[in-house]
Structure 1
Amino acid sequence: MKRVLKFFGWMVGVIVIIVLCFVGFVLLKWDQKYDAPYPELAASSDSTLIARGKYLVYGPAHCAGCHNTAERSLEVDNGKDLLLIGGAEFVFEPGVIRSRNLTPDLETGIGKLTDGEVARVMRNSIGADGRPIFPLMPFQNMSDEDVVAILSYLRSQEPVNHFVKPTEYSFMGKAVLAFGLIKPEGPSGTPPKSIAIEPSEVYGKYLANSVANCVGCHSPRDLMSGEFIGPKFSRGLEFEEAPGANFITPNLTPDPETGIIADWSEDAFVARFRAGRLYEHSPMPWGSFARMTDVDLRAIYRYLMALEPVSNKVEKTQYMLEVNPVN
């Protein structure tokens, strides 16, 4: 019996040491800093570029919806051009991700950051402090011209002093960072200088992957690291947007049996976006996407219809869960 107790005591001691080593490693390594070149891109006062930037910010890139408080995001969704003061909270397994104030305020916004620092966030997912940005923004391969357009619009805003608490990672989130599972992601190649704005598959691919982030929500992903874990556009994430209201993003490939838009005409696709939100808590930024031009919407449709069909059925994109009544 003494030998058994001694053995179990030894095993418990080993386990405790392993756990302490693991915790110590995470706490020492999670706050890693990264480096990458600063893109040589600068904001402009050109009115055409500023207008393009505003269109992207409030339209396909939907920056204004994410970089606002929850209440203001609803107003943006309803068509108001509110300044990007930050404050939205995205609660994932890694922690609470908070969007930053993007007005040029010197104290709480991007006023002290250089254009290169802001562009590096977009291109390489590295903050000005060297920390990696959780992969929610798909702008790594955005064209130089569009990055400059967004920079130009952001600099043209009125500065707003609005403090946003820093992002807070859970212990599991810190572990993911410590082991490099969340790390900066740069361009897949050399980003284009510019891109032709026309209703083509090429422009649609650019919008769906590098601007509007259709691929980010309509693809299977590991919510701890943000990694893609299945065929892109074949269905995606489950969102709990309100107590009892859950959504699953549908299959956007042209599979004739399971693709949600496989039998839609191009005009029907455009009309659906013009109709806006059908479900109150839908995570789709319908207000922003309703602002998109016909050219952009037709380009996305043509790209999606050219994808390889993937059979992946989603029974319901919106469903209600039973919620226990509050006494």
Structure 2
Amino acid sequence: MKKFVKIFVGLIGFIALIILCFVAFVFLKWDKKYDAPYPELAATQDSTLIARGKYLVYGPAHCAGCHNTTERMLRVDQGEDLTLIGGAEFVFEPGVIRSRNLTPDMETGIGKLTDGEVARVMRNSIGADGRPIFPLMPFQNMSDEDVVAILSYLRSQEPVNHFVKPTEYSFMGKAVLALGLIKPEGPAGTPPKSIKIEPSEVYGKYLANSVANCVGCHSPRDLMSGEFIGPKFSGGLEFEEVPGALFVTPNLTPDPETGIIANWSEEAFVERFKAGRVYEHSPMPWGSFARMSEVDLRAIFRYLKALEPVSNKVEKTQYMLEVGGSN
């Protein structure tokens, strides 16, 4: 019996040592810094590019919705062109991710950052301080012209002094960072210089993957690291935006049995987006997407219809839960 107790105590001590070593590793290694070249892209005062940037920011790229306070996000969703003062909080298992102030304010915004530093955030998910950015922005393969357009619009805003608390990571989030599961992601190859704006599958692929982030929400993902864990565009990602309301993203592939738009016409697709929000707490940025041009919407539809069908039945896209219970 004494031998058994001795072995048991030794085992407990060994496990405790492993845990202590892991905790020490996390706190020593989570705050990693990364480096990547600064894109040689610069803002311009060209009115055409500024207009394109504004369209992207309030439309398909939906920057204005995320980079505002919660109250202002609702107003942007309803069609107001509010400056991007930041402050939205996104609560995930890794922690509380806060959107930054993107106005050219010198103290609290991007006024002191170079165009290259801002472009590197978009292209490589690396902040000005060298820390990795949680993979919520899919702009790594955005065209040079569109990156410049967005930079130009951001610089054209009125500076607003609005302090936003830094992102705060939980212990699990810090562990993921320490293990390198959240790390900078650069372009897949060389991003295009420009993209032809037309209702084509090519332009639709660009919008769905590199601008509007349809792929990011309509694909199975590990919400701890942001990694894709299933067929892209097959749906099934869960969002509980408010307690009691669970939203599940539908399958966007043209699978005839489980794809939500498999039997939609192009006109029905365009009309649905132009109609805007139906469910109050849907995580879909309907207000921004309702501003999209018909050319962009038709391009996305044609790309989605050309995808490889994936059988993934999403029973419902909206569940009303009892708080503290299950659906």
TM-score bracket for this pair, using the shorter chain length = over 0.9
SS of 2:296 mapped into structure 1? helix
TM-score, normalised to structure 2's length? 0.98
After superposing on structure 2, the runs of 4+ consecutive aligned residues of structure 1 that deviate more than 6 Å are none
SS of 2:172 mapped into structure 1? helix
Alignment partners' CA distance in 2, 1:115 and 1:200: 31
Q: Amino acid of the residue matched to residue 132 of structure 2?
A: P
Q: What is residue 29 of structure 2 aligned with on the other side?
A: 29
Q: What is residue 263 of structure 2 aligned with on the other side?
A: 263
Q: What fraction of aligned residue pairs are identical, expressed as a percent?
A: 87
Alignment partners' CA distance in 2, 1:7 and 1:107: 59
Give the CA deviation at 1:323.
2.6
Q: Amino acid of the residue matched to residue 240 of structure 1?
A: E
| 1:179 maps onto 2:168 in alignment | no
| 1:47 maps onto 2:59 in alignment | no
Query: Is residue 236–residue 314 contact of structure 2 (8 Å, CA) maintained in 1?
Result: no
Give the CA deviation at 1:242.
1.5
Alignment partners' CA distance in 1, 2:85 and 2:2: 65
Q: Amino acid of the residue matched to residue 58 of structure 2?
A: Y
Q: Amino acid of the residue matched to residue 16 of structure 1?
A: A
| 1:248 maps onto 2:271 in alignment | no
Superposed, which structure 2 residues align to 1:225-304 within 5 Å? 225-304=225-304
Q: Which runs of 5+ in 1 are unaligned?
A: none
Give the CA deviation at 1:247.
0.3
Give the CA deviation at 1:241.
1.3
Give the CA deviation at 1:7.
1.1
Q: What is residue 191 of structure 1 aligned with on the other side?
A: 191
Q: Amino acid of the residue matched to residue 298 of structure 1?
A: R
Give the CA deviation at 1:56.
0.1
Q: Which range moves more in the overlay, 64-73 or 231-240?
A: 231-240
Q: What is residue 65 of structure 1 aligned with on the other side?
A: 65
TM-score, normalised to structure 1's length? 0.98
Alignment partners' CA distance in 1, 2:324 and 2:171: 29
Once the two structures are superposed, what CA deviation does each residue of 1:42-67 show, in whole Å capped at 9, x if it has no partner? 00000000000000000000000000
SS of 1:17 mapped into structure 2? helix
Give the CA deviation at 1:236.
3.4
Alignment partners' CA distance in 2, 1:323 and 1:132: 34
Alignment partners' CA distance in 1, 2:224 and 2:105: 32
SS of 1:241 mapped into structure 2? strand
Alignment partners' CA distance in 2, 1:310 and 1:21: 43
Q: Which range moves more in the overlay, 26-35 or 314-323?
A: 314-323
| 1:322 maps onto 2:292 in alignment | no
Q: What is residue 129 of structure 1 aligned with on the other side?
A: 129
Alignment partners' CA distance in 1, 2:18 and 2:96: 28
Once the two structures are superposed, what CA deviation does each residue of 1:19-51 show, in whole Å capped at 9, x if it has no partner? 110000000000000000000000000000000
Alignment partners' CA distance in 2, 1:301 and 1:2: 71
Give the CA deviation at 1:324.
6.0
- Once superposed, what is the RMSD of the aligned Cα atoms? 0.9
| 1:145 maps onto 2:145 in alignment | yes
Residue-pair matches, total: 325
Alignment partners' CA distance in 2, 1:324 and 1:226: 26
Alignment partners' CA distance in 2, 1:77 and 1:242: 17
Alignment partners' CA distance in 1, 2:9 and 2:281: 53
Alignment partners' CA distance in 2, 1:132 and 1:160: 25
Alignment partners' CA distance in 1, 2:11 and 2:286: 56
Alignment partners' CA distance in 1, 2:221 and 2:138: 14
Alignment partners' CA distance in 2, 1:71 and 1:282: 15
Alignment partners' CA distance in 1, 2:219 and 2:13: 43
Alignment partners' CA distance in 1, 2:292 and 2:9: 65
Alignment partners' CA distance in 2, 1:223 and 1:283: 15
